[in-house]
């Protein structure tokens, strides 16, 4: 059941989308097609991404109010949770907005991996194609004739890790500074921030090197798009918040 849904919702549409791009852009190699396809996917997901960035900025803005509520109801966790949810509702804020974006990208990455692992490229499996998607005359797996992206590449894996580092560094809030009276909460927040900024990119490098370079291409393009998106959305949000 899960496999059937995965094929119908992610794998087949992704496979057909890539093959269709190969048909309409016969001069483009697989690397360029994946970059273009990634941009198209990110544009489709842009409303979710925009909401996620705006949520982060609102969360930062109302953090003093949240801290006050936590302190006020520190002896009653249920009342604290109700008060925080009421504040989220008042601000029309969904604190889980960013999680939805991460979750939806996981099957996309898995589908992309299976397309190049079991999809048979550069040979085309006509049985997977929709009626309106023709079989392209030629599919080149060499990025600019230099790199076979159906194989592993340490270079692409490193690019994925480096781009992940800068994306996380820009997206995450500043690491909490050490105070004179450190608390478990502050230490945990500092530890999580450090792990996300420095451990996560290393983890991405290790994972990306185990997969075909095409997955790394998706990761690098996705991260660069996310960085540009953060800059644009944050700038536009600040302009919208300025008094007329």
What pLDDT was estimated at residue 83? 82
What pLDDT was estimated at residue 157?
Answer: 93
- Give the dihedral sign, CA 68/88/95/221: negative
Among 17, 12, 22, 9, smallest CA distance to 40 is for 17
Pick from 29, 34, 32, 13: nearest CA to 132: 13
Position 205 scores a pLDDT of 92
Cβ neighbors of 156 (< 8 A, separation 6 or more) are: 147, 149, 208, 213, 216, 217, 220
Give me the pLDDT at residue 124, please: 84
The whole-angstrom separation of Cα 33 and Cα 113 is 15
pLDDT, tens digit, for every residue of 107-122? 877 787 777 766 667 7
Instruction: Give the model confidence (pLDDT) of 44-57 as tens digits.
Output: 878 877 777 777 77
Per-residue pLDDT of the chain (244 residues; tens, 9 = 90+): 557 788 888 888 888 988 999 989 988 888 898 889 888 888 887 887 777 777 777 777 777 887 787 787 777 778 877 888 888 888 777 766 666 666 777 787 778 777 776 666 778 888 888 999 998 888 888 888 788 888 889 999 999 999 988 888 777 655 555 555 555 555 555 566 666 677 888 888 998 898 888 888 888 998 898 888 888 877 876 766 665 5
Q: What's this model's pTM, rounded to 2 decimal places?
A: 0.73
Q: Using CA atoms, how far apart are residues 220 and 38, in angstroms rounded to an integer?
A: 10
Report whether 216 contacts 153 (CB < 8 A): yes
Q: Give the per-residue pLDDT at 239.
A: 67
């Amino acid at each position: 059941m899960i496999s059937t849904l995965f094929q119908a919702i992610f794998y087949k549409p992704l496979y057909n989308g890539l093959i269709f791009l190969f048909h309409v852009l016969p001069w483009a190699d697989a690397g360029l097609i994946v970059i273009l396809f990634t941009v198209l996917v990110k544009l489709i997901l842009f409303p979710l991404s925009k909401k996620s960035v705006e949520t982060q900025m609102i969360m930062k803005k109302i953090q003093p109010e949240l801290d006050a509520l936590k302190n006020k109801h520190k002896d009653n966790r249920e009342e604290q949770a109700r008060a925080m949810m009421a504040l989220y509702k008042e601000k029309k804020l969904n604190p889980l907005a960013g999680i939805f974006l991460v979750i939806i990208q996981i099957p996309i990455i898995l589908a992309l991996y299976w397309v190049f692992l079991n999809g048979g490229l550069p040979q085309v499996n006509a049985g997977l194609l929709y009626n309106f998607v023709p079989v392209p005359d030629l599919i080149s797996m060499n990025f600019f004739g230099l790199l076979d992206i159906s194989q592993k590449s340490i270079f692409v894996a490193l690019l994925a890790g480096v781009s992940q580092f800068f994306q996380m560094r820009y997206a995450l809030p500043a690491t909490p500074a050490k105070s004179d009276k450190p608390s478990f909460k502050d230490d945990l927040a500092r530890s999580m921030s450090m792990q996300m900024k420095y451990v996560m990119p290393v983890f991405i490098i290790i994972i990306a090197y185990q997969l075909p370079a095409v997955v790394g291409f998706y990761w690098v393009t996705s991260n660069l798009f996310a960085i540009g998106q953060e800059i644009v959305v944050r700038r536009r949000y600040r302009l919208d918040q300025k008094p007329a």
